[in-house]
Amino acid sequence: MPDRVLVADDDRAVREAVARALELEGYDVVTAADGVETLVLTRRSSFSALVLDVMMPHVDGVAVCRVLRADGDRTPVLMLTARAGIPDRADGLDAGADDYLPKPFEVPELLARLRALLRRAALTASPAEGEGEGEEDEDVLRTASLRVSPGTRRAWWDVAELQLTRTEFDLLELLVRNEGLVLDHAAIYRDVWGPDAGVDAKNLAGYVGYLRRKLTEAGAPGLIHTVRGVGYAVRRP
């Protein structure tokens, strides 16, 4: 069966153009004109991914994403935004969005980012509830008091569990799995966002910032180090 994608945008021209492009790529597409309709649709049926505009009436895209995550809905979310500022993008990512695409955008890039989200979702689908905690996972990754469980897609600093978005977890897992090695921007984008994704240093820096903040809030010392002009590395404190 084709992947089912919900496209939510209050601009009818944008909504229909994106829907047509996705349908031509073989997706099953459902559209919504505002945040309220989006929440109704997501609670009635399931989707492979959501493409949400930030600036929608009644309930905006950021609020929709926040409500879905609070409900335990982990459907991948690609956020569309006409706001170019980093704080505006950060709001969406903090709310639980997996990626963002600034307007105006090129359809090929939207398709590439959507493919990357769906590819990661297929490869890293969470196991059924009731399976063991991270420490029982044979593949658990450890550095200092940090534990990262790829099998359950959970991470802890000491006893505090980190509340990570899908992309944040993928980035942390990659860095911890390569502890001590400096990974350049291109390598990180290839492994986390997929080979079709473009390289945006500001986007990557934003995600690193979110990870650092969450680690700090959990009591961790500085683990993620910036190698200026090259990339990032995880090193034991």
Cβ neighbours around 132 below 10 Å, total: 11
Q: Could you read off the pLDDT of 176-221 as tens digits, one per residue? A: 988 888 888 888 888 888 776 666 656 788 899 999 999 999 999 8
Instruction: Give the global pTM.
Output: 0.57
Domain boundary among 73, 95, 123: 123
Its domain, for residue 141, covers: 134-234
Backbone angles phi, psi at 38, to 5 degrees: -60, -45
Are 121 and 50 a contacting pair, CB within 8 Å?
A: no
Long-range CB contacts for residues 198-207, cutoff 8 Å, separation at least 24:
198/109, 198/112, 202/86, 203/89, 203/100, 206/86, 206/89, 206/90, 206/93, 207/93, 207/167, 207/168, 207/171
Judge contact between 53 and 11, C-beta under 8 A.
yes
- Whether 191 and 147 map to the same domain: the answer is yes
Question: Does residue 180 share a domain with residue 80?
Answer: no
Over residues 166-181, the pLDDT tens digits come to: 889 989 999 998 888 8
Domain total in the chain: 2
Q: What is the CA radius of gyration of the chain?
A: 18
pLDDT at residue 200, as a whole number? 63
Indicate whether 89 and 143 sit together in one domain.
no
Structure tokens at 23: 């349908």
| Distances, alpha carbon 16 to alpha carbons 12, 19, 23, 96, in Å | 6, 5, 10, 25
- Together in a domain, 78 and 163: no
CATH number, position 167 = 1.10.10.10
Q: pLDDT: is 195 or 165 the higher one? A: 165
What pLDDT score was predicted for residue 22?
96
pLDDT (tens digit, 9 = 90+) per residue, 25-74? 999 999 999 998 998 898 888 899 999 999 888 888 888 988 888 777 88
Q: Are residues 38 and 140 in the same domain?
A: no
Structural contact between residues 11 and 57, judged by C-beta atoms closer than 8 angstroms: no
Examine the domain organization and report whether 22 and 43 are in the same domain. Answer: yes
Of 188, 190, 196, the closest CA to residue 172 belongs to: 188
Check pLDDT > 70 for residue 87.
no
For residues 112 and 28, membership in a common domain is answered with yes
